[in-house]
Amino acid sequence: MTIRKIAQIGNPILRQSAGKLLREELATPEVQNFIDDLIETMRDANGAGLAAPQVYEPVAICCIEVDENPRYPYKPKVPLTVLVNPEIEVLGDETFENYEGCLSVPNLRGLVSRAIRIRVRAWDREGNDIDEEIAGITAGTYQHEVDHLLGSLFIDKVSDPCTLCTWTEFQRNHEAEFARRVREIVARVGS
């Protein structure tokens, strides 16, 4: 496994739509090795997720995992999940304000309105169908990663530019209140 370099905002790869894979392509050793690299890079950077374009591969693969993550101590645990060719359907009109950051936009956070309930359809890394409903803060994480596959960054969706802040200012001025809201969402809708 190789830890890959993460593309930073301004790199054109982050604004491209990722290409879908065929099941035969997914099964190749090259793609399977790439998925291992993607996971290792996400874990090394303490990310809650990482999409292929963020490591300079314009393919529709992303991974998500939250387990004792020091960057997101308030996020519910999410087991390692690999999504290939994911599609998201919003379920209902309810949204929540999610303070987001991104490994490709270092040291910046801002509020993004996200659907509180979604349905995700994708393949796992073996090509098996995934069709799940996801709710709460975890739904925001899924939406953030799939946005990367569409060439979109969280800063494109920040509801109010005045909410943009550095990590340090987020921790000083916003994290406690946001963590309280996260606990409320988790108590009400789960994850």
Q: Are the beta carbons of 81 and 160 closer than 8 angstroms? A: no
Query: Among 145, 169, 177, 184, which one carries the catalytic annotation?
Result: 145
Cα separation, 59 vs 116, in Å, equals 26
Q: Are the beta carbons of 72 and 170 closer than 8 angstroms? A: no
Is there a catalytic annotation at residue 87? no
Question: Which residue shows structure tokens 């996400």?
Answer: 42
Helix (H, G, I), strand (E, B) or coil at 108: strand
Give the type of residue at 132.
E
Cα separation, 49 vs 86, in Å, equals 14
Give the residue numbers annotated as catalytic, written as ranges.
Answer: 145
